[in-house]
Structure 1
Amino acid sequence: MGDILFLAHRIPYPPDRGDKIRSHHLLQALQQLAPVHVGCFADTDSDLQHENRLREGVASHILVRRTKSMVRAGIEAIMSAKAVSVTAFAHSAMREWVANTLTDHEIDTIFVFSGQMGQYIPADFAGRVVVDLCDVDSAKFEAYAEKGRSPRRWVDAREGRVLATEEQRLALRAERILLVSDAEAQLFRARIGPHAGGAVTALRNGIDAGQFNPQSALPHADLVSAKGPHLVFTGQMDYAPNIAAAERVIDHILPEIRKIHGDAQFHVVGRAPVSRLLARDGTGGVRIWGEVPDVRPFLAAADLVVAPLEIARGIQNKVLEAMAMARPVLLTPEAATGIDATSGTHFAVEAGHHALVERALALLGNGPLALRMAAAARRYVVENQSWDAMLAPLASIIGKDTENTRRDVA
């Protein structure tokens, strides 16, 4: 039984955004199975401050500060016929560390978190390779291209094509490909066809229902003291689908709600809001909060949490977090993908602008209905979406379960 090499495109600390939450819990679970060597990147100087947390419990690590601009990454990508999102994470220090780690330690499994890190799998590595793609990124960029405008449309279309080639390469290389939901796994199989070398498996996201608990945080004082009702959206606010969802509420949903509830407010909570969102702050009941130390007080104070995404891949952590906080959630079918809950019982699913407005008004106008939905949401998450339950198959996936151990010894 050898060690594990864990490669992630972002440091798994702090676990405060979708990809970091998943990689954090995966790393914690892998550390229970074998010594783990971690190679990852820091996007910001703030990320570097969490290196001590990364160091705890791992056999060795490298944390590389990523400074390559997207312009440079784009030029390198065009010259090398690779994806921009792959060249953005190409770094000689990481490549050298991986080579030295494989030489100095008995690594029998390389666990790659996100397709950007697949470039560091040596061609001659003879052990087990597991790649967690999370989502089918090529399909995401294709969707961007369909909805976008030139020249960005051309850039996204190219990224989708090149990423599809990289995904096929990884499918041939890996013993197991992991996706965040059954829907993503089925989509990947359909796109790869018979070319996958290993099994394609769904490993769903979980939720820490102890941390996201209605008893764990007081409602935010500013929301409590202000007239409402209060609608809340959380997420990384330089991410295109989140930007589009927030603008959808600002332009099409909130104005209609304010015709009935004149003091309704919409709160956008999440780091790095783009300038066009910041420009809407303070207008027509809109508050753009940016990065906050804790989203739970905002969720606790929400009369309704909304997630009207039109492009969404995998399972939305923002939805699970709101459900765990026992809040009524209104979302689109895209945002509900991968969550086996029931619309009308655990959350409310609608598609068009008008339907979303009508469902929002129904929930805001019927307190007992909203409370029943919120309580059912909390029960669903506690009973069905814990991280322990979601990651239970991990030992078998990487060949370190008891049955495989006995077989290897025999």
Structure 2
Amino acid sequence: MQILMVFHASPCPPELGPSRRNYVMLRELLREHDVTVLSFGTAEQEARFAREFGSACRAIFLRFPRPRCLAQVRRVWWLLTGRSDFPVARDRRLQRWLDHLAATEHFDLIGVSCQMMGSYRFPAGTPLLTDTHNVEFEYLRLGYREATDPIRKLAYWARWRATRRDELALLRKFDLVLAVSEADRQVFARALPPQRIAVIPNGIDLAQFKPPPVEPERHTLMFSGLMSYYPNDHGIRWFIERIFPRVRDEVPDARLLVVGAHPSRKLRGLAGRGVEVTGYVPRIQPYFARAQVVVAPLRMGGGTRVKLLEAMAMRRPVVSTTFGAAGLAARDGRHLLLADTPAAFARAVVNLLRDPRLAASLVAQAAALVADEYSWDAIGRRLRDACARLAPRLEARSALASRSAASPNG
């Protein structure tokens, strides 16, 4: 097939969640199809893309639009008037390129990297596929539930109502919607025909997350993520304030590494008393290697947590909230430990710090699960199978084109 893939975030370098997933999708599609890429990205990302993919596919990069005060004003206005901020994602330059490519070239399939890009205009008759990194309105609903500040709570409520309406309307434009988990698929299925949804989970490159040759540092815990993402900030502050003191009551020398870019002022203020907030690090693997236990105390957010898969691949035991592990095939007591209250979470952490046999049992089964279900190769097979669902639509389009060409009036 001739495929046009449109990315809201450059597939290179494959470091943060969206870029990593975009990279895997592109790599796997290139195994069997000819792909043209249209993407936002910096000059550095464009150069990295060229090094990674070379002549394997043609790529057109657009620089990210500069932040504009008017766009921020529009966001506030749309919020006040009951509309979502999805239209902010629309860029005129990208629309012009889409129109140009549709007019001058033939594509059997057009894919986009997130449902927000459904706000663009696409050529009629070409099958459309969208990836989804989460259910955006579900993330906002959970934000409303967890927020304690009245203004933040009201903002979440208003955005949830508008985003739910607009997100589902955009998704109805697509012939195939890719969900990252069964839970997300079930949410989408309330508004979309089930046959138009496929589950393609997040995954990791096993070659990049091998078990380290060193022992972890004694009594060291670790949490990782982009800290400017509010669910990460919200979850780790809850852990530091409500759970970590309970752990230190029983394991006084316990340490916590909080690893990830752009920590908030509030989070940086919690450093000390066994807590280290690193900020940005170039490679996450050395921090997983140091950790005796990896924690995922998340209570809101969307999609699935790649950080858990990375920890499992590196054979580090995980304690998570039920929500933090949602969407993964991991089972409590077999692949990880689940706990949802401060007391239960602290108890699970202490048990793993003190019981090496329990930790060893969990990591062995978790590593096998990741290799079987969440490697890039396994996900690539699922993606190609999902694209095969569009074959009847492609055949019908080809037959219609043939009849039109054969018609005397064609």
Q: Percent identity?
A: 27
- Check conservation: 1:183, 1:338, Cα contact below 8 A: yes
TM-score normalised by L of structure 2: 0.88
Alignment equivalent of 1:393, drawn from 363, 382, 400? 382
Tell me what 2:209 maps to.
212
Q: How far apart, in 2, do the equivalents of 1:388 and 1:244 lie?
A: 33
The reply on whether 1:248 has 2:247 as its aligned counterpart is no
- Check conservation: 1:363, 1:370, Cα contact below 8 A: yes
Alignment equivalent of 1:298, drawn from 265, 287, 290? 287
Query: Cα distance, 1:146 vs. partner?
Result: 2.5
Tell me what 2:343 maps to.
354
Query: Cα distance, 1:173 vs. partner?
Result: 1.2
The reply on whether 1:83 has 2:84 as its aligned counterpart is yes
TM-score normalised by L of structure 1: 0.88
Query: Cα distance, 1:14 vs. partner?
Result: 1.4
Tell me what 2:160 maps to.
160
Distance verdict in 2 for CA 1:285–1:12, change over 3 Å: same
Residue correspondence of structure 1 range 41-190 to structure 2 within 5 A = 41-42=40-41, 47=45, 50-53=48-51, 56=54, 57-69=56-68, 72-76=71-75, 78=77, 82-84=83-85, 86-122=86-122, 124-148=123-147, 149-190=149-190
Query: Cα distance, 1:82 vs. partner?
Result: 4.5
Unaligned runs of 5+ in 1: none
Q: How far apart, in 2, do the equivalents of 1:399 and 1:70 lie?
A: 44
Q: How far apart, in 2, do the equivalents of 1:383 and 1:18 lie?
A: 20
Please tell me the residue identity of whatever aligns with 1:35: D
- Check conservation: 1:323, 1:329, Cα contact below 8 A: yes
Q: Secondary structure at 1:102's aligned position in 2? A: helix
Q: Secondary structure at 1:201's aligned position in 2? A: strand
- Check conservation: 1:131, 1:170, Cα contact below 8 A: no
Q: How far apart, in 1, do the equivalents of 2:214 and 2:91 lie?
A: 43
Alignment equivalent of 2:318, drawn from 319, 329, 338? 329
Query: Cα distance, 1:154 vs. partner?
Result: 2.6
Bigger mean CA offset, 316-325 vs 243-252 = 243-252
The reply on whether 1:37 has 2:36 as its aligned counterpart is yes
Distance verdict in 2 for CA 1:71–1:255, change over 3 Å: farther
- Check conservation: 1:267, 1:289, Cα contact below 8 A: yes
Distance verdict in 2 for CA 1:335–1:115, change over 3 Å: same
How many residues of Structure 1 are paired with residues of Structure 2 in the alignment?
395
Q: Secondary structure at 1:315's aligned position in 2? A: coil
Q: How far apart, in 1, do the equivalents of 2:169 and 2:347 lie?
A: 46
Q: How far apart, in 2, do the equivalents of 1:88 and 1:294 lie?
A: 32
- Check conservation: 1:309, 1:334, Cα contact below 8 A: yes
Query: Cα distance, 1:47 vs. partner?
Result: 4.6
Distance verdict in 2 for CA 1:100–1:400, change over 3 Å: farther
Tell me what 2:365 maps to.
376
Please tell me the residue identity of whatever aligns with 1:250: I
- Check conservation: 1:55, 1:61, Cα contact below 8 A: no
Query: Cα distance, 1:93 vs. partner?
Result: 1.2
- Check conservation: 2:119, 2:170, Cα contact below 8 A: no
Tell me what 1:237 maps to.
227
Coordinate RMSD, CA, aligned: 2.7
Q: How far apart, in 2, do the equivalents of 1:83 and 1:130 lie?
A: 22
1:299-336 CA deviation, whole Å, 9 max, x = no partner?
Answer: 01101000010013222100000000001000011111
Q: How far apart, in 2, do the equivalents of 1:183 and 1:76 lie?
A: 29
Q: Secondary structure at 1:165's aligned position in 2? A: helix
Query: Cα distance, 1:52 vs. partner?
Result: 3.3
Q: How far apart, in 2, do the equivalents of 1:238 and 1:70 lie?
A: 20
Q: How far apart, in 1, do the equivalents of 2:332 and 2:286 lie?
A: 25
Q: Secondary structure at 2:208's aligned position in 1? A: coil
Q: How far apart, in 2, do the equivalents of 1:203 and 1:106 lie?
A: 27
Distance verdict in 2 for CA 1:48–1:290, change over 3 Å: farther
- Check conservation: 2:118, 2:173, Cα contact below 8 A: no
Tell me what 2:403 maps to.
none
Distance verdict in 2 for CA 1:103–1:33, change over 3 Å: farther
Q: How far apart, in 1, do the equivalents of 2:264 and 2:162 lie?
A: 27
